Amino acid sequence: MRQLFQNLKEYKAYLGYAPKSILKTEVADTYLNWLWWFLEPLLFMLVYTFIAGFIFSKKVEYFPIFVFIGLNCWNFFDRSIKRGVTLVKYYKGIFSKIYVPKYIMLLVQMFVEGIKIAISYLLVIIMMFIYKVPLTWHILEALPLFILLFILSFGGASIMLHFGVFIKDLANIVTVILRLFFYLSGIFYDIGANKTIANNALYSTILLRVNPIAMIMDGLRNCLLYGQSPDWLAVGIWTVLGVLLCAFGVHLIHKYESGYIKIS
Amino acid sequence: MEDAIIIKDLHISYRTVQAASIFKALFKKEKKVKKFDAIKGISLTIKKGQIVGLIGKNGSGKSTLLRAVANIFKADAGTIDTCGNTVQLMSIGVGFQNDLSGRENIYLSGMLLGYTKEYINEQLDNIIEFSELGDFIDQPVRTYSSGMYSKLAFSITSTLESDIILVDEVLSVGDVNFRKKSYARLKEMINQEDKTVLIVSHNSNTIRELCSHAVWLNDGILKMTGEVNEVVDAYEDFMSKETEKKRLQKEAAKKK
């Protein structure tokens, strides 16, 4: 763990500069340039509002924001994990030429996603004004939830990074598993309000507490939209587990990373 | 004199097909692993301030050794101790983003190599001047010709400093003039007293001119080490004998 912080300090400059430059290249040569950073989430929001509102016609309060909060939360986790699995292959050019702790590049990618998500949540706040969501001090409780989301994503992705080097088709399997979790996490529906699930205590605990992403999503919606506190016990437990995941992932990478490039 | 690099009984092998499908990983306990030994037990000590040339035919493990010293490859057995010195493998264009300008890539590449923003700021003018790119420095790198690209890359790696410099055939860069200039820069770099340098090159003349000592690797084994002219002479003698042997074998095969 000490080595992790030492490395973070050493590559601080790069971690600050590289995500910005990646974001810049993504919009370079488009007509609207950096406006895309706002337009893209906005358009996606419209798409999901349309699909969810007209096709599913759900009666959840502030439904478009409800979907958008969940979706962004999910996207961050999903993309971090997927990036992790293919990271060594993706950065082979760099890794075969110089030594960089592998998770530094993972963090760069996660920061890129993080900045995108931050912009999306700015839109959430704007939407909250438009939909006249009552503002409460519970909004501040979203911050620890974001931190937990980051910890869990980094932990999961760093472990995937390690195994992704040794197992070729891990990416395919991870995609399927993530899709399953996507539907289990209640992005388009309220897990708590679904009668079949809510009436069965076992289901609802498993879906809301054992699946950390659903738990975070639920917490975010509660504190941003409905003026309620998240489930702090579950948040606490998952934070401890998340830190352990990170420690395990970082340990794996430190131990085996100099062998990665010989294999792929 | 102080030691800069201590290598003890180093073994490195590549496993070409080790990444397996999940079914193989789970159900087949015996894995078919093609193992290729690139380095088979090398022990070597390099003193501080020495300029050492690595020679040997293709596939003899020169580049592998260099990468192991740079901590890119793991040793399967044995140890490499760089005695607390910073090590840099001079490689061309690491971490470049083609859509960004040359100037931004200087920062990107420099920071990836572990330098601070302040240090790069100090060196920025130096790098741009040496690269001869002029106004092109603010154009995206993807618009560069391959010559310009490698000029910029060489300028970056040769300006940023470290205690131990590893050079892997980076001397053929750009046009004739730039090549002369980069050769002179390299010479200037490696002639500083406290720098330890390891150079891989196929060109024996380059090695003779730049290096004080040489190490000859053959099929992953240390064949000879010592003063540069002695080793290169022996190597050239060996290589011409090899070619002669091959020629004779071919002729014999033809006759049959």
Q: What is the pLDDT of residue A198?
A: 61
| Confidence category of residue B16, pLDDT binned at 50, 70, 90 | low
pLDDT of residue A244: 95
Nearest to B31 by CA among B23, B39, B40: B23
Asked whether the beta carbons of B171 and B206 are under 8 A apart, the reply is yes
What are the Cα distances from residue A170, in Å, to A83, A120, A176?
A: 12, 30, 10
Of B50 and A249, the structure prediction assigns the larger pLDDT to A249
Under an 8 Å CB criterion, which residues of B touch A?
14-15, 18-22, 25, 67, 70-74, 88-89, 91, 94-95, 97-100, 104, 107-108, 111-117, 140
Query: What pLDDT is recorded for position A82?
Result: 94
Give the pLDDT confidence score for residue A175 in this predicted structure: 92
Q: How far is B213 from chain A (nearest CA, A)?
A: 25
What is the reported pLDDT for B21? 62
Yes or no: say if B158 and B189 are a contact pair by the CB < 8 Å rule.
yes
Nearest to B18 among A17, A21, A263 (CB): A263
Q: What mean pLDDT is predicted for residues A77-88?
A: 93
pLDDT at B166 over 70: yes
What integer is the mean pLDDT of A159-185?
88
Interface predicted TM-score (ipTM) of this complex, two decimals: 0.77
pLDDT at B34 over 70: no
**Amino acid B37: pLDDT:** 81
In tens, the pLDDT along B182-196 reads: 888 878 877 777 888
Q: How confident is the model at residue A209 (pLDDT cuts 50, 70, 90)?
A: confident
Per-residue pLDDT, averaged over B232-252, amounts to 88
Q: Quote the CA–CA distance of B139 and B133 in Å, as a whole number.
A: 10
Instruction: Residue B99: list chain A partners with CB under 8 A.
Output: 24-25, 28-29
- For an interface test with B, which of A11, A12, A14, A168 has the most B Cβ atoms less than 10 Å from its Cβ? A14
Query: Which tokens belong to A174?
Result: 């991870």
Confidence of residue A251 (pLDDT cuts 50, 70, 90): very high
List pLDDT tens digits, range B91-103.
Answer: 766 778 888 888 9
Q: For residue A254, is pLDDT > 80?
A: yes
What value does the mean pLDDT take over residues A166-181?
88
Question: Which band of pLDDT confidence, cut at 50, 70 and 90, is reported for residue A139?
Answer: confident
Nearest residue of A to residue B68, measured between CA atoms: A258
Report whether pLDDT(B32) > 60.
Answer: no
Asked if residue B35 has pLDDT above 90, the reply is no
State mean pLDDT over A141-163.
94
Query: Tell me, what amino acid is at A6?
Result: Q
For residue A200, the number of C-alpha atoms closer than 13 Å in the C-beta half-sphere is: 8
Q: Average pLDDT of A33-40?
A: 78
Q: Is A90 on the interface with B (CB under 8 A)?
A: no
- B47 pLDDT band, cuts 50/70/90, is confident
Residue-averaged pLDDT of chain A:
84
**Contact: B20, A168; criterion CB under 8 Å:** yes
Res B19 pLDDT > 60:
no
| B122, pLDDT greater than 70 | yes
Q: What is the pLDDT of residue B31?
A: 52
Residue B25 has pLDDT above 70, yes or no: no
Chain A positions touching B20 (Cβ under 8 A) are 166-168
Cross-sheet strand order for the sheet of B3-15 = B35-47, B3-15, B77-81
Q: Which pLDDT belongs to residue A22?
A: 87
Predicted local confidence at residue A176, as pLDDT: 92
**Burial label, A178 (beta-carbon count in 10 A; 0-12, 13-18, 19+):** middle
What pLDDT does A58 receive?
60
Alpha-helical regions (H) of A101-226: 102-130, 142-166, 170-184, 195-198, 201-205, 212-224
Q: Which of A8-12, A242-246, B189-193, B225-229 has the lowest mean pLDDT?
A: B189-193
State the pLDDT confidence band at A71, using cuts at 50, 70 and 90.
confident
CA geometry: angle B200, B87, A246, nearest 5 deg: 125
Closest CA to A247 of A150, A153, A162, A155: A155
